[in-house]
């Protein structure tokens, strides 16, 4: 927590939403609602701040896919070679006979990286993908 003054504010929420929120707080291990709300706000601010296309960001792209799916490996490799200037590291895990998990660490302009990750995540054969960023000043 920063050394700035704490300010209180009231939040109205319907009961069922609040019950779900309390359940989440318990699962995640937050000490109280305030700490959970602060974290949610911080996340929202990070997500919002890198919506600026020209912002420099660093982050990771996680991809989960079946390498037997036609052309998926070849297309992923081809896209990554086009983006070699933005890729800091790549790690590939062979999870089982079919499935691969790939972690790509990237750094560059928000707009370019978003396009890059969208291209891979939306690819046929990619079952799950997630792009996580931290703003870099
Ligand atoms: Ni593999």
DSSP line for 60-113: EEEEEEETTSTTHHHHHHHHHHHTGGGEEEEEEEE-SSSEEEEEEEEEEEHHHH
Q: How many CB atoms lie within 10 A of CB 23?
A: 10
- Taking the CA atoms of 93, 95, 98 and 104 in sequence, report the sign of the dihedral they define: negative
Lowest-confidence region among 60-64, 67-71, 73-77, 100-104: 67-71
On whether 97 is known to bind a ligand per the annotation, the reply is: no
By the CB criterion, residues less than 5 angstroms from ion ligand 1 are: 94, 100
Alpha-carbon distances, residue 124 vs 17, 32, 70 (angstroms) = 35, 42, 9
Phi, psi of 101 (to 5 degrees): -120, 130
Please, what is the average pLDDT of the chain?
90
On whether 92 is known to bind a ligand per the annotation, the reply is: yes
By three-state DSSP, how is residue 3 classified?
coil
The token duo for 11 is 């939040």
Tell me the CA–centroid distance for residue 85 and ligand 1, in Å.
23
Flag whether the pTM goes above 0.95: no
Give 70's pLDDT tier (boundaries 50, 70, 90): confident
């Amino acid at each position: 927590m920063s050394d700035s003054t704490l300010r209180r504010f009231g939040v109205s929420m319907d009961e069922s939403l609040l019950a779900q929120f309390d359940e989440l707080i318990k699962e995640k291990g937050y000490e109280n609602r305030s700490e959970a709300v602060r974290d949610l706000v911080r996340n929202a601010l990070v997500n919002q701040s890198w919506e600026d296309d020209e912002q420099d960001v660093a982050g990771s792209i996680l991809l989960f896919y079946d390498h037997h799916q036609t052309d998926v490996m070849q297309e992923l490799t081809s896209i990554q070679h086009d983006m070699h200037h933005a890729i800091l590291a790549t790690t590939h895990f062979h999870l089982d006979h079919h499935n691969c998990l790939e972690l790509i660490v990237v750094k560059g302009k928000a707009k370019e990286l978003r396009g890059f990750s969208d291209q891979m995540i939306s690819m046929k054969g990619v079952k799950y993908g997630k792009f996580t960023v931290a703003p870099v000043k």
